[in-house]
Amino acid sequence: MNPNTPGANPQSSAWTDLRIEIWVSIMLRTGVLLAAAIVLTGGILYLGHAHGPRPDYRHFHAEPAHFTTLSGVLHGVAALNPESIIMLGLLVLIATPVVRVGMCIVGFFFERDRLYTIVSTIVLLILLYSLFFHK
């Protein structure tokens, strides 16, 4: 029997899966804290500049192009635009679950679990499609 089958040998299978999960959780926490630090930096800069009344979010009009594309955000960050820095933090945050799936592909590959290497790859492909092509 495949030694990685969960239930067949709880000790050894729990250990390898657990190792993937621990690596993943360290990455997720690091990613979230990094994202929060960037958002906070942008937020402090934004509040330092914002003296007017609260922005009106009552009616939806899509955010301008420099907040809706990766290149637009990066240009804004280069110009030290506070809101662009906040957006960069949000993009780092959105990337963390995607990296997580990538790490699972590697983990399952080293566990020689072909089925779940494929399953994780399918999930990653759906995510990459959603991030770059979904209309």
Partner 1 sequence: MTALEFSLILFVTSIAAGLLGALSGLGGGVVIVPLLTVIFHVDIHYAIGASLVSVIATSSGAAAAYVREGFSNIRVGMFLEIATTLGALVGAWLTTRVPTHAIGIVFGVVLLYSAYASVRQHHDALTRNPDALALRLRLEGSFPTGPDRHEDYVAQHVPAGFSLMALAGTLSGLLGIGSGAVKVIAMDQAMRLPFKVSTTTSNFMIGVTAAASAGLYLRSGYFAPALAMPVMLGVLLGSLVGSRLLVRVHVRTLRIVFALIIVALGVEMIINSLRGAL
Residues 104-133 within binding reach of partner 1 (CB under 8 A)? 104, 113, 115-116, 119-120, 122-123, 126-127, 129-133
| Residue among 1, 3, 12, 54 that touches partner 1 (CB under 8 A) | 54
80 binds partner 1 (CB under 8 A): no
83 binds partner 1 (CB under 8 A): yes
Residue 80 Cβ, how far from partner 1 at the closest point, in Å? 14
- Size, binding site for partner 1 by CB under 8 A: 72
What is the C-alpha R_g of the chain? 20
What does the alpha-carbon distance between residue 46 and residue 48 come to, in Å, rounded to a whole number? 5
Q: How many CA atoms lie within 13 A of 17 on its CB side?
A: 13
- Cα separation values, 132 from 69, 102, 122, Å: 10, 16, 16
What does the alpha-carbon distance between residue 93 and residue 109 come to, in Å, rounded to a whole number? 26
| Residue among 52, 71, 78, 79 that touches partner 1 (CB under 8 A) | 52
